[in-house]
């Protein structure tokens, strides 16, 4: 989990994002909240993280999809734009996105709902 209790009764929260996103979030911290940045740098997912189960090409497609706004609401990018950024065909991008989404959703522990 990205949230852990510390020995002194605090919380350690792991955030992953761009430097610009952190500047905005840290500027909006409520009064009385102490924030300490422990480290920054490239993100390398651990072996249990869903991203580690993706191929390097799938991670590249996912990175571009996120950067271009494919998962924003409303959607800001289409397969053609991701294809241009990754030098893949639109069909291949679509296949990679479906495999990525299947991996992500299958990793969620969502109980079956009663009908």
Give residue 56's pLDDT: 92
CA dist list (Å): 113 to 101, 103, 110: 21, 21, 9
* 77 Cβ contact list (under 8 Å, min separation 6): 65, 68, 69, 70
Question: What gap in Å lies between CA 50 and CA 66, rounded to an integer?
Answer: 16
Where does 50-107 sit in CATH, by number?
1.10.10
- More confidently predicted of 44 and 103: 103
Give residue 31's pLDDT: 83
Query: What value does the mean pLDDT of the chain take?
Result: 84
| Crossing angle between the packed helical segments 90-107 and 79-86, to the nearest 10 degrees | 100
pTM for this model (two decimals): 0.59
Residues of the chain with pLDDT > 90, as a percent, come to 43
- pLDDT at residue 29 above 90? no
Confidence band (pLDDT; 50, 70, 90) for 102?
A: very high
């Amino acid at each position: 989990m990205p949230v852990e209790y510390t020995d002194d009764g605090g919380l350690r929260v792991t955030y992953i994002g761009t430097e610009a996103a952190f500047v905005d979030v840290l500027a909006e911290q409520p009064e009385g909240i102490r924030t300490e940045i422990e480290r920054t740098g490239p993100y390398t997912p651990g072996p249990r993280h869903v991203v580690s189960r993706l191929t390097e090409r799938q991670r590249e497609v996912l990175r571009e999809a996120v950067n271009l706004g494919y998962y924003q609401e409303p959607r800001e990018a289409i397969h053609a734009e991701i294809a241009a950024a990754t030098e893949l065909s639109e069909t291949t991008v679509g296949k990679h996105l479906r495999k990525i989404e299947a991996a992500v959703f299958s990793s969620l522990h969502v109980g079956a709902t009663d009908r």
